[in-house]
Amino acid sequence: MVKKSIERLHATVFGRVQGVSFRFYTRDTASELDLTGWVANRYDGSVEVVAEGPRAALDRLLEFLHQGPPMARIDQVQHEYFPATGEFKHFTIE
């Protein structure tokens, strides 16, 4: 059996992303994809996301981050991939 490679996605989403349930939709999407990590509002009005899992699932989460929930407006998404640390058990809202 081949073990799936696990990676970490770190993303920051800019636009109208606070006050539009962005964190809740992100958590639900990440949970459906069996990803672990967290999502949090930042003081500058952006949303930060750290997620770990298979690259294909992380790519699907990144697609969601570029679209966002219905009331959001996404202006920019900055993201990077890193090696996973395995430190998370679930995907949470911080």
Active site residue ranges: 23, 41
Residue that the structure tokens 């989460």 belong to: 61
Q: Which two tokens stand for residue 49?
A: 């996301």
Q: CA 48 from chain center: how many Å? A: 8
The residue with tokens 């395995």 is 86
Q: How far apart are CA 94 and CA 92, in angstroms?
A: 6
CA–CA separation, 8 vs 84, rounded Å?
5
